[in-house]
Amino acid sequence: MTDATDATSGTALVDFAKLVARLEQFATERDWAQFHSPKNLVMALTGEVGELNEIFQWMPEEASKQAGRNPQTAQAVQDELADVLLYLVRLSSVLGVDLDAAVRQKLKANALRYPADQVRGSSQKHSRPESGESGKD
Amino acid sequence: MTDATDATSGTALVDFAKLVARLEQFATERDWAQFHSPKNLVMALTGEVGELNEIFQWMPEEASKQAGRNPQTAQAVQDELADVLLYLVRLSSVLGVDLDAAVRQKLKANALRYPADQVRGSSQKHSRPESGESGKD
Amino acid sequence: MTDATDATSGTALVDFAKLVARLEQFATERDWAQFHSPKNLVMALTGEVGELNEIFQWMPEEASKQAGRNPQTAQAVQDELADVLLYLVRLSSVLGVDLDAAVRQKLKANALRYPADQVRGSSQKHSRPESGESGKD
Amino acid sequence: MTDATDATSGTALVDFAKLVARLEQFATERDWAQFHSPKNLVMALTGEVGELNEIFQWMPEEASKQAGRNPQTAQAVQDELADVLLYLVRLSSVLGVDLDAAVRQKLKANALRYPADQVRGSSQKHSRPESGESGKD
């Protein structure tokens, strides 16, 4: 019930307007909008996610839980998370997608797709906790 | 100047608190928090970014500009953008990282790193418009 | 017909034995095998693919056709392609997967899945020329 | 010493010629070469690596060591490893890069970069066992 409330009511969960405007201004001031096609931005986003992987690649799962606070990795973790968000918001912006509405729709779909009493405690019943199936093809 | 304002003043650009709480509740209701280590979530985030790539892989750059409105791709685009955001916010949450603060810090750093009058119109002077260098290693 | 020949006959297409042995020796000499779990190596592979994306992210599609010969990018392109292959072969090795057999099986499946006279010239009929469907989920 | 031998002698480590020819023929028969620009193929490769991540995302590191033999995951693992190799070889081919030469050069560089007696047993001294540094930017 609670999962679907905001999606049906249309209340915003996250307001990206200020950040969208900031990134638009940043690109315009540098005449970089010409490079910011969705195809290019997907690749740029991928590059940042690659760097996030590099931070965690040799880290044991338990240690990864401290990576945001560990002085050796905290700054790099923050930087890469920020980079991923910046490209994601810029990508959504140039695509004309309302990221907040997309997220509320997805949360509603996930609540229906993964009923709590059927998937509880299983990583098999869900392959992606907030989205869909894996192992496809 | 404007680029640094919010970062120095500490004013929030994007407030993720409601979404963080929603994802926490969603995981708790399904007993999925046990699977949500940072290392695992980085891989889940990567899987979603992979799906985003699949939508755009054979699409010419010009056509990609319409992918958010094209009826053949709009829903898939929205779904994958939402999935990426959901995993990114959940990842930041379990890492204890304030994503809004990280973004404001990054925007400030980018403004200093890419002075508009030195990088204008060049994709060489910046390899990643909001972050850093490519071609490393 | 020709596509299935090697797969049915069992003739090797690519012999990775020497490279597998070399990487095994390299890891053993450095006591790095302890870090080379499949999960870790998938992340390391992802990091290298991220770097490949960084080379191409702002490059127009036409220019990308020259990236392997362009003096500004040729060395970086070669390095990243090599890195991806090294991690892929090491990953297959620790997983106990015969990469050559896997490839021959896949080629056979693709020949059946994409009959030339039904998919000719269309990027819609195939979303991944050598594998499967996109836009899933 | 051994690490550099093949690279200096120019002896092939892996011969991709047959697979390169097979993929060329496959694309030509379907008139798909028109879609196979390096930029597009990097994205397709990324999509496959994303699927590989989806297989391993919720899997504990220890369990990942059995994923190539576990009946629940073995076929998917083989399929995705094959897909990654197919796109990597096709990408190298359209770029005009000799993947075997690139790998031999990289192995030689890695042997010099990571002297066994200086990096033994440390995942700090190397962030990428076969390539370079992480945590950049």
The answer to whether the Cβ–Cβ distance between A40 and C53 falls below 8 Å is no
**Closest by Cβ to A54, choosing from D43, D57, D135:** D135
**Euclidean distance between CA atoms A15 and A19, whole angstroms:** 9
Per the prediction, chain C carries an average pLDDT of 88
**Closest by Cβ to B30, choosing from A43, A60, A120:** A120
Residue B92 has what pLDDT?
Answer: 98
Minimum distance, in Å, between the CA of residue A117 and any CA atom of chain D: 20
Tokens of A123: 């990583």
Look up residue D97 and give its DSSP letter: -
**Euclidean distance between CA atoms C57 and C65, whole angstroms:** 13
Taking residues D98-107, what's their average pLDDT?
98
Tokens of B13: 């650009």
- Kind and range of the H or E run holding C76: helix C74-95
Look up residue D34 and give its DSSP letter: G
Residue B14 has what pLDDT?
Answer: 98
Q: Searching chain A, which residue's CA lies closest to the CA of residue B44?
A: A128
A11 Cβ under 8 Å from any chain B Cβ: no
Share of chain C above pLDDT 90, in %: 80
3-state secondary structure of B52: helix
A42 Cβ under 8 Å from any chain D Cβ: yes
The answer to whether the Cβ–Cβ distance between A58 and C40 falls below 8 Å is yes
Taking residues B35-57, what's their average pLDDT?
98
**Euclidean distance between CA atoms C16 and D13, whole angstroms:** 8
3-state secondary structure of A36: coil
**Euclidean distance between CA atoms C21 and C70, whole angstroms:** 33
Pick the closest to residue B81 from A98, D22, A70, C132 (CA basis).
Answer: A98
Query: In the predicted model, is pLDDT for residue D2 greater than 80?
Result: no
Tokens of A84: 């991923």
Residue D11 has what pLDDT?
Answer: 85
Minimum distance, in Å, between the CA of residue B84 and any CA atom of chain A: 8
Q: How confident is the model at residue C102 (pLDDT cuts 50, 70, 90)?
A: very high
A108 Cα distance to chain centroid? 17
Query: In the predicted model, is pLDDT for residue B125 greater than 80?
Result: no
Residue D127 has what pLDDT?
Answer: 55
Residues of chain C in contact with residue A64, where contact means CB-CB under 8 angstroms, are none
Pick the closest to residue D129 from C93, B84, B129 (CA basis).
Answer: C93
**Euclidean distance between CA atoms B40 and B30, whole angstroms:** 17
Q: Are C107 and C7 in contact (CB under 8 A)?
A: yes
Alpha helices in chain A (DSSP H): 2-9, 17-29, 38-56, 61-64, 74-95, 99-113, 116-119
A111 Cα distance to chain centroid? 18
Residues 57-76 of A with CB under 8 A from B: 59-62, 64-65, 67-69
Phi, psi values for residue A119, rounded to 5°: -115, 5
**Closest by Cβ to D134, choosing from A54, A127, A136:** A54
List, for residues A58-101, the tens digit of each pLDDT value.
Answer: 999 999 999 999 999 999 999 999 999 999 999 999 999 999 99
Q: Searching chain B, which residue's CA lies closest to the CA of residue C43?
A: B43
Give CA separation, D123 vs A41, C30, D130, in Å. Answer: 32, 10, 12
Share of chain B above pLDDT 90, in %: 80
Residue B134 has what pLDDT?
Answer: 39
- Give the range among A34-43, B19-28, C8-17, C19-28 with minimum mean pLDDT: C8-17
Query: In the predicted model, is pLDDT for residue A129 greater than 90?
Result: no
Q: Are D120 and C30 in contact (CB under 8 A)?
A: yes
Minimum distance, in Å, between the CA of residue B1 and any CA atom of chain A: 11
Residue D126 has what pLDDT?
Answer: 57
A18 Cβ under 8 Å from any chain B Cβ: yes
**Euclidean distance between CA atoms B54 and B83, whole angstroms:** 14
The distance between the two most distant Cα atoms of chain A, rounded to a whole number of Å, is 52
Q: How confident is the model at residue A5 (pLDDT cuts 50, 70, 90)?
A: very low
Handedness of CA D23, D24, D29, D30 (dihedral sign): positive
Residue A11 has what pLDDT?
Answer: 85
Tokens of A106: 């997805």
Q: Searching chain D, which residue's CA lies closest to the CA of residue B42?
A: D57
Chains near D with 3+ CB pairs less than 8 A apart are A, B, C
Query: In the predicted model, is pLDDT for residue D132 greater than 50?
Result: no
Tokens of C128: 């991944």
The answer to whether the Cβ–Cβ distance between C135 and B46 falls below 8 Å is no
Q: Are C132 and D49 in contact (CB under 8 A)?
A: no
List, for residues A25-60, the tens digit of each pLDDT value.
Answer: 999 999 999 999 999 999 999 999 999 999 999 999
Residue B114 has what pLDDT?
Answer: 96
Query: In the predicted model, is pLDDT for residue B133 greater than 80?
Result: no
Residue A123 has what pLDDT?
Answer: 84
Minimum distance, in Å, between the CA of residue B4 and any CA atom of chain A: 11
- Give the range among A113-127, B32-46, C13-27 with minimum mean pLDDT: A113-127
List, for residues D43-102, the tens digit of each pLDDT value.
Answer: 999 999 999 999 999 999 999 999 999 999 999 999 999 999 999 999 999 999 999 999
Pick the closest to residue D2 from C28, C53, C71, C60 (CA basis).
Answer: C28
Chain B interface disruption, residue of D46, D62, D130, most B CBs within 10 A: D46
Residue C3 has what pLDDT?
Answer: 46
Give CA separation, B2 vs A63, B5, B121, C61, C79, in Å. Answer: 38, 5, 20, 35, 40
Pick the closest to residue D109 from A63, C59, C83 (CA basis).
Answer: C83
pTM: 0.90
For chain D, the C-alpha Rg in angstroms (whole number) is 18
C7 Cβ under 8 Å from any chain D Cβ: no
**Euclidean distance between CA atoms B59 and C136, whole angstroms:** 16
List, for residues C43-86, the tens digit of each pLDDT value.
Answer: 999 999 999 999 999 999 999 999 999 999 999 999 999 999 99
C25 Cβ under 8 Å from any chain A Cβ: no
**Closest by Cβ to D38, choosing from C65, C85, C107:** C65
Query: In the predicted model, is pLDDT for residue A125 greater than 90?
Result: no
Per the prediction, chain D carries an average pLDDT of 88
The answer to whether the Cβ–Cβ distance between C116 and D84 falls below 8 Å is no
Residues for chain C: how many in total? 137
Residue C126 has what pLDDT?
Answer: 58
Minimum distance, in Å, between the CA of residue C51 and any CA atom of chain B: 7
The answer to whether the Cβ–Cβ distance between D53 and B35 falls below 8 Å is no
Pick the closest to residue B39 from D17, A115, D59 (CA basis).
Answer: D59
Residue C80 has what pLDDT?
Answer: 98
**Closest by Cβ to D132, choosing from B51, B131, B137:** B137
Q: Are A80 and A51 in contact (CB under 8 A)?
A: yes
**Closest by Cβ to C50, choosing from A53, A56, A137:** A53
| Residue reference for tokens 């900031």 | A22
Minimum distance, in Å, between the CA of residue C86 and any CA atom of chain D: 7
Query: In the predicted model, is pLDDT for residue C91 greater than 60?
Result: yes
Q: Are C106 and C130 in contact (CB under 8 A)?
A: yes
Taking residues D1-21, what's their average pLDDT?
74
> Who wins on pLDDT, C6 or D42?
D42
Amino acid at C63: A
Tokens of A16: 């990206």
